[in-house]
Amino acid sequence: MNAVVKVMIANIHKSTDINTELTDEALYGMPVEVLEDIDDTWVKIRTFYRYEGYTLKTNLHMESEDILTWIDANYVVIQNFADVLTRPKIQSSKIITLTLGAFIQVLKEADLDPAWTKVRLVTGEVGYVRSQWIQKRVKVYTTNELAFREQVVQDAFRYIGTPYRWGGKSPLGIDCSGLVSMAYMLNGAYIYRDAKILDGFPIRKIEKAELKLGDLIMFPGHVAMYIGEDLYIHSSLGGNEVNVNSLNPQHSEYREDLATTITEYGSIF
């Protein structure tokens, strides 16, 4: 990794044109590898979860010394939107707003009100954020299967009601694979960004009878997370937002178009 995202959300495009397809979003503080310096405006990058695309250079911080320091950015934002302020006081001015899933570096400050945490930004600037809005990053997922399953579903529900956005991965807008990959990422599991099972990533194919809480349900070009009792959470273009539907034809939230087109099921366990 030789660069870090320095804006709230860095759009990742299919090609070097802001009008081309948005394939992914990299959130603030996430490290990326610059694969190719295209021109004065664009670079080709690979994210730390191995997804490639093109982004604007202005989205990235590429000072080598700062990037080495940023390796210790071991906290993540868990609030939909979190302001980083100049002082530990709500009346102080805002430096930047971060979204759920952004990475941040925590600094210690003696006698600081515990309601506030001092943080370092990608550029080296220092600010303050409310303590309850961040938590330690989980970098490696737990082998406690039940705990993982329950937490990954809980984290998926953080996005409930979020508008559907193709290529999106934040509370401003999220797509189906963005939702499940972010829920897994918050729990230290880095799965493939798109709606399919790919060799080299931790999701493996399972049978329907094995389906448990937190497992994935695959459809043609779509993916959802199973939450038990024939229900699943997903970000659906047809539903316009992150919501819950059912596989049970007798349920009021049953969607026949999805329930009858399932291609496979996947699990990390």
Q: What are phi and psi of 58, to 5 degrees?
A: -65, -15
Cβ pair 164, 174 in contact under 8 A: yes
Active site residue 222: yes
User: Could you give the C-alpha distances from 138 to 15, 73, 88, 113, 242, in angstroms and in order?
Assistant: 32, 12, 26, 25, 24
Query: Does residue 176 carry a catalytic annotation?
Result: yes
Catalytic residue among 13, 61, 176, 251: 176
Q: Can 251 be counted among the known catalytic residues?
A: no
Give the per-residue SS3 of 126-191. Answer: EEEEEHHHEEECCCCCCCCHHHHHHHHHHHHHHHCCCEECCCCEECCEECHHHHHHHHHHCCCCCC
Annotated active-site positions, please?
176, 222, 234
